[in-house]
Amino acid sequence: MKAHIAILPGDGIGPEVIAEGTRCLHALAQRHGHTFTLSELPFGGAAIDLSGEPLPTETLSTCLAADAVLLGAIGGPKWSAPEAKVRPEQGLLALRSALGVYANLRPVKVHPALLSASSLKPEVLTGVDLMFVRELTGGIYFGEKRQDADSATDVCTYTVAEIERIVRAAAQLARQRRGKLVSIDKANVLETSRLWRRVCTRVMREEFPDVSLEHMLVDAAAMHLIRRPRDFDVLVTENMFGDILTDEASMLAGSLGLLPSASLGEGRRGLYEPIHGSAPDIAGRGIANPCGTLLSVALLLRHSLGLSAEAEALEQAVSAALEAGARTPDVAGDAPAASTRAFGDAVLSRL
């Protein structure tokens, strides 16, 4: 098949991990007879340095014309001064909105070879395989914002339609997995959460009676993710809660560098990125973990290009590399650590 993929390396370690992702894309295209056209574009802080904007017009137009978008990471101290008028994160919010990607899928699966990388006991982690579905284009991040000398306001708003579509996306995934959905809110305090719970209950009762539904307050969910993570299957929640809880859940796997994400809308085009940040403290040292990026490429192949066999081949190659002992410093412990490039080599050799 032929596909056009927009590549946004971004800032910090973004270009380093994206380089391994594009190597795997080229290898898979060659092996399976595909033609992948990759367009590399400035985004985030790098784009601010070039043009003064985190999401230049050419970058946005190319992303909108592409079959999928692969993103590295954005941000860093250079662009995060409190008085800064333009920030890399503004570009990311604008890109998500323009692409219409409202459902952020973040799978968390603990690899048996990395049980010791987490700070939790192996018996708590064994068998953990859960999926977060985070609403991505609504809530407090997109609400009206005001600030003056004495106060600041961030407005959190959700509509019935926004809640319906994210619950449907999560329920469909739960139906394909173990048939269990947990909806996370703060309905004892927030009006948006009370609406969320009412709409979620109705959609599940009317459209997904075969999927079990449990409501859970966000503070309880934060506790149970650590106490009994194996009990969860699919979890659906609003934007800010999902942002926080998925970072917490990444520690089940052992490192932020291990986990991928897919941001999807109504069509097949999606935005794919590892869940980690730009990690400016290790940028340029060649030690960043590319697993999250490589597994994000697998999600891209599966969800946007419909190439399930190629996606599975890449996932198996990453798993085999870990099983064979390939480790970047974040999960190496006392064992010898591989560089970003060396880990990519280990995966490519298994493709």
In this structure, is residue 113 part of a structural domain? no
CA nearest to 106, candidates 6, 226, 220, 244: 244
**Is residue 345 annotated as a catalytic residue, yes or no?**
no
Q: Total domain count for the chain?
A: 2
Q: 49 and 140: one domain?
A: no
Residue range of the domain that includes 301: 1-105+257-351
Regarding beta strands 129-135 and 234-237, do their DSSP bridges make them parallel or antiparallel, or are they unpaired?
parallel
Q: 28 and 123: one domain?
A: no
In this structure, is residue 149 part of a structural domain? yes
In this structure, is residue 276 part of a structural domain? yes
Instruction: Identify the domain boundary among 223, 253, 283.
Output: 253
How far is it, in rounded angstroms, from Cα 114 to Cα 54?
36
Q: Compute CA distances 135 → 97, 102, 162, whole Å.
A: 12, 6, 8
pLDDT of residue 37: 98
Q: 262 and 248: one domain?
A: no
**Is residue 247 annotated as a catalytic residue, yes or no?**
yes
Q: 93 and 127: one domain?
A: no
Q: Which of 78, 109, 180, 186 is catalytic?
A: 186
Q: For residue range 40-90, list pLDDT tens digits in order.
A: 999 999 999 999 999 999 999 999 999 999 999 999 999 988 778 899 999
Q: Which of 129, 154, 247, 345 is catalytic?
A: 247
Instruction: Identify the domain boundary among 219, 253, 287.
Output: 253
Q: 278 and 248: one domain?
A: no
In this structure, is residue 144 part of a structural domain? yes
Q: For residue range 84-127, list pLDDT tens digits in order.
A: 889 999 999 999 999 999 999 999 999 999 998 898 999 999 99
How far is it, in rounded angstroms, from Cα 283 to Cα 66?
28
Instruction: Identify the domain boundary among 253, 285, 315.
Output: 253
Strand ranges, E, within 79-194: 103-109, 129-135, 145-147, 152-154, 180-185
Q: Compute CA distances 158 → 137, 164, 166, 197, 331, whole Å.
A: 10, 10, 11, 12, 38
C-alpha torsion 146→75→63→301, nearest 10: -120
Q: 249 and 262: one domain?
A: no
Q: Are 10 and 277 in contact (CB under 8 A)?
A: no
In this structure, is residue 114 part of a structural domain? no
C-beta atoms surrounding 205 within 10 Å: 10
pLDDT of residue 53: 97
Regarding beta strands 145-147 and 152-154, do their DSSP bridges make them parallel or antiparallel, or are they unpaired?
antiparallel
Q: 217 and 298: one domain?
A: no
Q: Which of 49, 219, 231, 281 is catalytic?
A: 219
pLDDT of residue 84: 85
Q: Which residue has the tokens 């190439």?
A: 307
**Is residue 49 annotated as a catalytic residue, yes or no?**
no
pLDDT of residue 55: 98
Q: Which of 11, 185, 233, 243 is catalytic?
A: 243
Q: 195 and 316: one domain?
A: no
Q: What is the pLDDT along the chain (351 residues), one digit of tens a residue?
A: 999 999 999 999 999 999 999 999 999 999 999 999 999 999 999 999 999 999 999 999 999 999 999 999 999 999 988 778 899 999 999 999 999 999 999 999 999 999 988 989 999 999 999 999 999 999 999 999 999 999 999 999 999 999 999 999 999 999 999 999 999 999 999 999 999 999 999 999 999 999 999 999 999 999 999 999 999 999 999 999 999 999 899 889 989 899 999 999 999 999 999 999 999 999 999 999 999 999 999 999 999 999 999 999 999 999 999 999 999 999 998 888 999 999 999 999 999
User: Which residues, other chains included, contact 4 with Cβ-Cβ below 8 Å and sequence gap of 6+?
Assistant: 36, 37, 39, 65, 66, 67
pLDDT of residue 333: 87
Q: Are 215 and 185 in contact (CB under 8 A)?
A: yes
Strand ranges, E, within the chain: 2-10, 35-40, 68-73, 103-109, 129-135, 145-147, 152-154, 180-185, 212-217, 234-237, 262-264, 270-272
Q: Which of 102, 141, 158, 272 is catalytic?
A: 141
CATH of the domain at 277: 3.40.718.10
How far is it, in rounded angstroms, from Cα 283 to Cα 14?
8
**Is residue 243 annotated as a catalytic residue, yes or no?**
yes
**Is residue 186 annotated as a catalytic residue, yes or no?**
yes
Q: 203 and 312: one domain?
A: no
64: its two tokens: 């909108």
135: its two tokens: 């609403």
pLDDT of residue 143: 93
In this structure, is residue 111 part of a structural domain? no
pLDDT of residue 42: 98
User: Which residues, other chains included, contact 117 with Cβ-Cβ below 8 Å and sequence gap of 6+?
Assistant: 253, 254, 255, 331, 333
Q: 142 and 30: one domain?
A: no
